[in-house]
Amino acid sequence: MIEPDTLLADIEALVSCESPSEDHEAVARSAEVVAAIGRRLLGAEPEFLRTDGCTHLRWGFGTGPARVLLLGHHDTVWPLGSLGTHPFSVRDGVLRGPGCFDMKAGVVMALHAAAALEDREGLTILVTGDEEIGSPRSRPLIEDAARGCAAVFVLEASADGGALKCRRKGVSQYRIEITGRAAHAGLEPEKGVNAGVEIAHQILAVSGLADAERGTTVVPTALSAGTTTNTVPAAASVAVDVRAWDAAEQQRVDRAVRSLAPVLDGSRVHIAGGINRPPLEAAASAGLFELAGRLAADLGLGPLAEASVGGASDGNFTAGLGIPTLDGLGAVGGGAHADHEHVLVAELPHRTALLTALTETVLTETVPGNGFSVRADETAG
Per residue in 292-338, pLDDT (tens digit) is 999 999 999 989 999 999 999 999 999 999 999 999 999 999 999 99
* Residue 2: per-residue pLDDT: 78
Domains in the chain with CATH codes: 4-168+279-379 (3.40.630.10), 170-277 (3.30.70.360)
Share of the chain above pLDDT 70, in %: 96
Residue 243 in this model has a pLDDT that exceeds 50: yes
Which pLDDT score, from 0 to 100, does residue 4 have?
86
The pLDDT of 172-200, averaged and rounded, is: 98
Half-sphere exposure of 272 (CA within 13 A, CB side): 7
Question: 300 in helix, strand or coil?
Answer: coil
Q: Please tell me the predicted confidence (pLDDT) of residue 1.
A: 63
Neighbours of 141 (CB within 10 A): 17
pLDDT classification of 375: cutoffs 50, 70, 90: very low
Mean pLDDT of 20-42: 98
What span, in angstroms and rounded, lies between the C-alpha atoms of 110 and 356? 8
Could you give the CA distance from residue 346 to residue 362 in angstroms, rounded to a whole number?
Answer: 26
Please state the rounded mean pLDDT for residues 101-130. Answer: 98
Check pLDDT > 50 for residue 47: yes
- Please report the pLDDT score of residue 3 as a whole number: 84
pLDDT for res 377? 34
Mean pLDDT value of segment 203-220: 98
Contact 154, 71 (CB under 8 A): yes
Q: What end-to-end distance do the CA atoms of the chain give, in Å? A: 28
User: In the predicted model, is pLDDT for residue 286 greater than 50?
Assistant: yes
Whether residue 75 contacts residue 129, with contact meaning beta carbons closer than 8 Å, is answered with: yes
User: Is the pLDDT reported for residue 46 higher than 90?
Assistant: yes
pLDDT value of residue 366: 56
pLDDT range class, residue 112, cuts 50, 70, 90: very high
Q: What's the pLDDT score for residue 376?
A: 31
CA atoms within 13 A on the CB side of 115: 20
Strand blocks (E) in 158-301:
164-168, 170-179, 217-225, 235-244, 268-277
- pLDDT given for residue 374 in this prediction: 38
The model's pLDDT over 340-357, given as tens digits with 9 standing for 90+, comes to 999 999 999 999 999 999
